[in-house]
Amino acid sequence: MTETLEKQLEFATSVIERIRVYAIQYGSKEYSWSAWMPEMTNTDTLVRLETKDGQTGIGAVSSCSEQDIDLSIAYNMKPLLRGLLGKDGLRVEENWQWMAQRRPYVYNSAIAALDIAMWDLRAKQDDLPLSSLLGGKRDALQAYASIPVLENPTANVEFIHQLAQAGFATFKFHNACVPDPDIKLIKTIAREFQGQQFGFMFDAECGYDLPGALQVAEHLQRAGFIWLEAPFPDRNYSDYRKLCQSTELQILPAGLSVVEPEELAVMLPTDCWSTARVDLAMSGGITPLLKIIDITTALGLGLELVAWGSPISTAATLQVTLGTGCGEYFEIAVPQQDFLIPSSQPLQVNPSGKVSSSSKTGLGLKLDWQELEQTEPLLFDIW
């Protein structure tokens, strides 16, 4: 966080008096991201803070679970809620530290939803979009369609044609996470879209050993792909270093386990990845993510952010990316219609394949709470 922003956050006038929490299962279909992963159900855990001066802060995080809605984040958050009543919602760093002291028994993702809601409050207090409060580095960002596992290479080709009609020009694949079938898909994509102005990425969901990753990376580099993501578990630093030393292709981690500033400050200088990647929710929210951005900036290292979920649970990630200038791409889960919650709208991708945020204040979200509560019962209402 910049010194100027820290000084702006010193004063406080917005006392939290009510917190409502929802868990929203969404999507008309379930999806998987590897051959061994079962179909997963998406849940947004949504927080609605209300203050004595009439402001509302919204925060949401996405999670996936097998077969049923994920209530774990909401229930894990519950012990924090009464302790936040009476606190000043604008003292974001101070409140984050208070919540973080309850770890590891309170999850980072539970803290993140509340932290996001307070940043939403803070930006609304200044009558600014959150991206402007965080620096306003850019107005738009290249979007990429994050494609779930499909039946075969032909289905991927057909889906890319559909997505291109919606404005997408960059695509990330999930497949078998086994070298031979993955290479078959890579070759098909390279052949079918040769000479077209599309960009491609590949996510291996931590499924390879080092020989397999070297083999796939060679084919990806030859085909002009942008990056290989998650060839190994994030903490397999030794194989990541060997892979990075053996290819010019960008190599990224999954970004779901090595996610806190303290660990990243130690590991990033050791050249384990060519580009860093983290999930805002798994990191604990916007407050720690700003510290991570400072670390990667000081090292001259790229940082991409995970953005799987609905337009509500990915809104904070978009605002941070636009505001701070971190990252070259923004992930959008597709088909978009299967990642909407009540009263949300799909993100619009412009003819250049880019996505931008709303000019509204805070996260730029305008939810119809009456519509939402008609279909999604309130889990907690603390006041």
Cα angle vertex 73, ends 279, 375, to 5°?
Answer: 105
pLDDT digits (tens, 9 = 90+) for 7-57: 544 555 799 999 999 999 987 677 888 878 888 889 999 999 999 999 999
CATH of 3-127+367-382, one of 1.20.120.1770, 3.40.50.1000, 3.30.390.10, 3.20.20.60: 3.30.390.10
Distance in angstroms (rounded) separating the CA atoms of residues 280 and 256: 9
Each domain of the chain, given as residue ranges in start order, spans 3-127+367-382, 131-356
User: Which H, E and C letters describe 96-136, residue by residue?
Assistant: HHHHHCCCCCCCHHHHHHHHHHHHHHHHHHCCCEHHHHCCC
**Confidence (pLDDT) at 36:** 80
Residue 104: cis peptide before it, omega within 30 degrees of 0: yes
Q: Do 131-356 and 3-127+367-382 have the same topology in CATH?
A: no
pLDDT digits (tens, 9 = 90+) for 118-159: 999 999 999 999 999 999 999 999 999 999 999 999 999 999
User: What global pTM score does this model have?
Assistant: 0.95
Quick one: CATH architecture of 131-356? Alpha-Beta Barrel (3.20)
Q: Is the pLDDT of residue 1 over 50?
A: no
